[in-house]
Amino acid sequence: MRIVSLFYDYIDTNGVNVIKDWLDGLDLRAKAKLNTRLNALEYMNRTEWCMPMTKVLKGDKDGLIAVRAEHNRIQYRLLGYDGPNRGEFTLLACGNERNNRYIPLDIGRKAFERIEAVAEDPVTRRRRHDFG
Amino acid sequence: MILDKLDKERQILNSLDSKEYREALAIEHVNTTLAIQIRMMRENHQWKQSDLAARLSKHQETVSQWENPDYGRHSMTTLKALAVAFDVALLVKFIPFSELVQDMVNLSETRLSPPSFGEEQYHVLTSVTSNLMEDINVIDANNPSLVSPYNPRNMLNTANIEKELANVA
């Protein structure tokens, strides 16, 4: 057994795990899809990460990676980045994609703000991803 | 890392209380790992999607679907044909959920991309050769008189002795 990338969830200023909150609010099938996908990605070399499971984002979201899943014609997205330490991937923001646009529209800005928050306080502003 | 694995195992086990969720998890684990396995084994063979499609008399788009974790409609016939193409075994069986959780927390590169029969044979052969060489080296160190004449190190020693003899002369 060898985990290649450890997944972490972003924790907001109130101590809420925003990733788990979002996942818990989804259709159970969609939640299961995303959690099994995150689990598999932990064991895969980064060179193996590719579409349609993940997508390296460009433009105003350059530096972010989306973990992707589709269920009942809804495109679910979890945005994260490599860090703050080597071998870690932190999930920062969640949403949907419709007609090549991310919803909420400010998901990229939010994600970048959260990268800074995690960098400033990596102990309390992130927690190991909850697979439950 | 062991604690981490135990935490993950506990989290997944707790989530199984919901019947709807455990059903979804079982289905999605199969869908995800199958799609990843097909893509990784194809790439290990250095085949394009069109190469694999040609071997199975399918269209490239069909292979692309098989490699999509959102697809989830692989038939047994397709899986058996893929096992033949990749020269690996296919194991389909009913298991308790506890075993599903074990499978999830014990994934690895080898499990996601199992070696073909030929690759396995090669690994067995190289492993046996490597063990044999180690045994020869142990014999060499313990009792120089038992050194095989085919050991390259022995030949090197002979060359050194000849060199030294020439120097003395």
The average confidence (pLDDT) of chain B is 86
* Mean pLDDT across B16-40: 97
- Please report the DSSP string for B31-44 in residue order: HHHHHHHHHHHHHH
Pairs across A and B, CB distance < 8 A: 85
| Confidence band for B167, pLDDT divided at 50, 70 and 90 | low
Could you tell me if A94 and A79 are in contact, meaning their C-beta atoms sit under 8 angstroms apart? yes
Q: Is A37's Cβ below 8 Å from some Cβ in B?
A: yes
Least confident of A73-77, B103-107, B161-165: B161-165
Digit-coded pLDDT (tens) for B45-92: 999 999 999 999 999 999 999 999 999 999 999 999 999 999 999 999
**Can you give A80-126 as a three-state secondary structure string?**
EEECCCCCEEEEEEEEEEECCEEECCCHHHHHHHHHHHHHHCCCCCE
Is B8's CB within 8 Å of A131's CB? yes
Could you tell me if B87 and B117 are in contact, meaning their C-beta atoms sit under 8 angstroms apart? yes
- Residue B148 amino acid letter: S
Is B8's CB within 8 Å of A29's CB? no
Checking if the pLDDT of A93 tops 60, the result is yes
Q: What is the pLDDT of residue B31?
A: 97
Q: What is the pLDDT of residue A111?
A: 98
Higher per-residue confidence, A117 vs B137: A117
Higher per-residue confidence, B149 vs B21: B21
Q: What is the pLDDT of residue B154?
A: 45
| Confidence band for B130, pLDDT divided at 50, 70 and 90 | confident
Q: What is the pLDDT of residue B153?
A: 41
Report how far residue B108's alpha carbon sits from residue B33's, in angstroms, rounded to the nearest whole number: 11
- Residue A40 amino acid letter: A
B chain contacts of residue A33, beta-carbon cutoff 8 Å: 24, 28, 31-32, 69-70
| Confidence band for A86, pLDDT divided at 50, 70 and 90 | very high
B109, two tokens: 């590169």
Could you tell me if B32 and B57 are in contact, meaning their C-beta atoms sit under 8 angstroms apart? no
CB contacts under 8 A, A 55-114 vs B, are 69-71
Is A1's CB within 8 Å of B5's CB? yes
Which chain B residue lies closest to A28 (C-alpha atoms)? B21
Cβ neighbours for A67, distance < 8 A, ≥ 6 positions apart: A34, A37, A38, A41, A53, A54, A77, A78, A79, A80, A91
**Which homologous superfamily does the CATH classification assign to the domain defined by B2-114?**
lambda repressor-like DNA-binding domains (1.10.260.40)
Could you tell me if A62 and A97 are in contact, meaning their C-beta atoms sit under 8 angstroms apart? no
B54, two tokens: 């040609």
Q: How many residues does chain A have?
A: 132
Could you tell me if B72 and A70 are in contact, meaning their C-beta atoms sit under 8 angstroms apart? no
The ipTM (two decimal places) reads 0.92
- Residue B165 amino acid letter: L
Show me where the domains of chain A are located: 6-128
Look at the block and give the residue holding tokens 């455990």: B22
A54, two tokens: 């993940």
Digit-coded pLDDT (tens) for A59-77: 999 999 999 999 999 999 9
Select from B7, B18, B111 the Cβ nearest to the Cβ of A28. B18
Select from B7, B25, B40 the Cβ nearest to the Cβ of A36. B25
Q: Does the predicted model carry a pTM greater than 0.90?
A: no
Look at the block and give the residue holding tokens 């692309």: B64
CB atoms within 10 A of CB B129: 10
